[in-house]
């Protein structure tokens, strides 16, 4: 398996689906934006009893995705959610060849660059699993 994120690519941010948040993600991003956690939640977070995720705005997949040619990208890159930082080393992808190949259809970084360090990739996947137990039950 090879992976190297490609400059100026934001394809993963444009996929349908949710960006799940940890409590730590919320605190970190709110502080970065100069908002209280409550104000950040009110504006950007959808919370249920078991899960929290970014709200999906109209006409986009993520409120923080900036589309501006060479200057586009994640508007909160340095503090982005664990789920975004961990991609594509998610538990459901790294040990499932079919899902990995399916992901390669939209992620041009897959099968580019150096061979991945599978130990580090699995550590990242384990971090995801531990941070989102309700997503990875069973
Ligand atoms: S789709 Fe792949 S190459 Fe593109 S930004 Fe996401 S991880 Fe990087
Ligand atoms: S938070 Fe940033 S990295 Fe995550 S989906 Fe939104 S724009 Fe992409």
Q: Residue 136 domain-assigned?
A: no
Q: What is the dihedral of CA 54, 60, 64, 65, to 10 degrees?
A: 140
Rounded CA separation 121/125 (Å): 6
What pLDDT shows up at residue 126? 97
Domain count, the chain: 1
Domain with 56 in it: 2-131
Instruction: Tell me if 70 is assigned to some domain.
Output: yes
Closest-CA residue, ligand 2 atom 4, reads 84
Specify the ligand 2 atom closest to the Cα of 65.
7
Q: What span, in angstroms and rounded, lies between the C-alpha atoms of 13 and 91?
A: 18
Look at residue 69 in the predicted model and tell me its pLDDT: 80
What string of pLDDT tens digits covers the 138 residues of the chain? 999 999 999 999 999 999 999 999 999 999 999 999 999 999 999 999 999 999 999 999 999 999 888 888 999 999 999 999 999 999 999 999 999 999 999 999 999 999 999 999 999 999 999 999 999 986
Residue nearest to atom 2 of ligand 1 (CA): 107
Nearest-CA residue for ligand 1 atom 8 is 5
Among 1, 2, 6, which residue has the most ligand 1 atoms within 8 Å of its CB, making it the best to mutate? 6
Measured CA to CA, the distance from residue 48 to residue 52 in angstroms comes to 6
Q: Which residues line ligand 1 (CB under 6 A)?
A: 5-6, 9-12, 87-88, 107-109
What pLDDT shows up at residue 138?
64
pLDDT the model gives residue 71: 82
101 found inside a domain: yes
Token readout for 104 is 């390669």
Is there a domain that residue 138 lies in? no
Task: Choose among 88, 112, 81: nearest CA to 4.
Answer: 112
């Amino acid at each position: 398996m090879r992976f190297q994120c490609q400059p100026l690519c934001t394809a993963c941010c444009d996929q349908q689906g949710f960006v799940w948040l940890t409590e730590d993600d919320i605190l970190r991003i709110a502080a970065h934006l100069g908002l209280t956690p409550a104000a950040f939640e009110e504006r950007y977070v959808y919370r249920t009893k078991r899960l929290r995720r970014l709200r999906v705005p109209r006409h986009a997949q993520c409120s923080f995705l900036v589309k501006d040619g060479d200057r586009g990208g994640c508007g909160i890159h340095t503090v982005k959610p664990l789920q975004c930082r961990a991609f594509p080393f998610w538990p459901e992808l790294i040990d499932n060849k079919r899902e990995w190949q399916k992901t390669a259809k939209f992620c041009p970084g897959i099968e580019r660059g150096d061979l991945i360090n599978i130990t580090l990739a699995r550590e990242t996947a384990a971090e995801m699993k531990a941070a989102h137990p309700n997503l990875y039950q069973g």
